[in-house]
């Protein structure tokens, strides 16, 4: 079973559902998808919302290993994505010598705001945590107590790991930053990340690869009719 946890924010509900569809229709192995929705996490998330927090799952993503009982592996993904490849290929990259694996972006955004007027923060390892293959037993520092009290920078820069040598790398195509990364043929991308804002927001209707997302939404809405 491939265990996938997806950040959920009700303001991007359609993005979450289209992402789930894109995963399920291309997967060659059984997939379990869990939304990290705050209303389903009970008392696990108790920290107050930070003014710099752009989504509901900015910090809840780090509860993924805890929710897996600190056993096995799990994938975490932001909801503003579109998977164009078999998620089993990503799952096959798991390497037990690492605590987590991600795309190691060198991402320094120039704009000050992004979707819905959220502040565009800048920090080391920006966007590394938006797609993570997590070796849950080696992420034991991520208790609910730690996730609720650590600084955002400590969480997103993986300061809870003993050293950066525990961070493995996955191919760039599994976290292609739309409108930041150079545009490449869509068949060369495994996962599109609409991190600035996707075509489900009017302000980003003309973003890169917008039609790919719109086409996926139409496929999700399909039902055979007599």
How far is the C-alpha of 38 from the C-alpha of 42, rounded, in Å? 7
pTM: 0.91
What letter would DSSP give residue 1?
-
End-to-end CA distance of the chain: 35
Which two tokens mark 110?
């120039």
CATH 3.90.550.10 is held by the domain 2-220: yes
- List C-alpha distances in Å: 135 to 11, 13, 34, 66, 139: 30, 28, 17, 11, 7
Distance, CA of 150 to chain centre: 20
- List C-alpha distances in Å: 110 to 37, 113, 114, 128, 148: 30, 9, 11, 17, 29
What letter would DSSP give residue 103?
-
pLDDT per residue as tens, the chain (226 positions) = 999 999 999 999 999 999 999 999 999 999 999 999 999 998 899 988 877 667 888 999 999 999 999 999 999 999 999 999 999 999 999 999 999 999 998 856 665 555 555 555 655 787 999 999 999 999 999 999 999 999 989 999 999 999 999 999 999 999 999 998 988 999 999 999 999 999 999 999 999 999 999 999 999 999 988 8
Would you say 166 and 101 are in contact if contact means Cβ atoms under 8 Å apart?
no
- The SS3 assignment for 25 reads coil
Which two tokens mark 213?
């997302």
Which H or E run contains 31?
Answer: strand 31-36
* pLDDT value of position 207: 95
**Own/partner pairs, 196-203, CB within 8 angstroms, 24+ separation:** 196/109, 196/111, 196/114, 196/115, 197/80, 197/114, 197/115, 198/12, 198/15, 198/80, 198/115, 200/12, 200/14, 200/15, 200/18, 201/115, 201/116, 203/115
- Residue 119, φ and ψ in degrees, nearest 5: -65, 135
């Amino acid at each position: 079973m491939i265990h996938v946890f997806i950040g959920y924010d009700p303001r991007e509900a359609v993005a979450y559902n289209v992402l789930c569809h894109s995963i399920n229709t291309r997967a060659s192995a059984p997939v379990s998808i869990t939304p990290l929705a705050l209303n389903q996490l009970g008392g696990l998330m108790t920290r107050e919302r930070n003014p710099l927090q752009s989504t509901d799952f900015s910090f809840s993503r780090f509860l993924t290993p805890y929710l897996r009982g600190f056993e096995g592996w799990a994938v975490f993904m932001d909801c503003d994505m579109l998977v164009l490849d078999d998620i089993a290929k990503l799952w096959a990259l798991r390497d037990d010598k690492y605590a987590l694996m991600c795309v190691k972006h060198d991402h320094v955004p120039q704009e000050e705001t992004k979707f819905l007027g959220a502040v565009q923060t800048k920090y080391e390892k920006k966007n590394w945590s938006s797609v993570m293959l997590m070796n849950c037993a080696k992420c034991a520092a991520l208790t609910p107590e730690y996730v609720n009290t650590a600084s955002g920078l400590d969480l997103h820069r993986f300061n809870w790991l003993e050293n950066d040598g525990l961070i493995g790398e996955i191919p760039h195509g599994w976290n292609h930053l739309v409108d930041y990364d150079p545009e490449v043929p869509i068949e060369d991308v495994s996962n599109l990340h609409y991190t600035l804002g996707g075509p489900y927001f009017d302000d980003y209707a003309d973003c890169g690869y917008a039609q790919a997302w719109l086409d996926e939404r139409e496929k999700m809405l399909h039902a055979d009719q007599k």
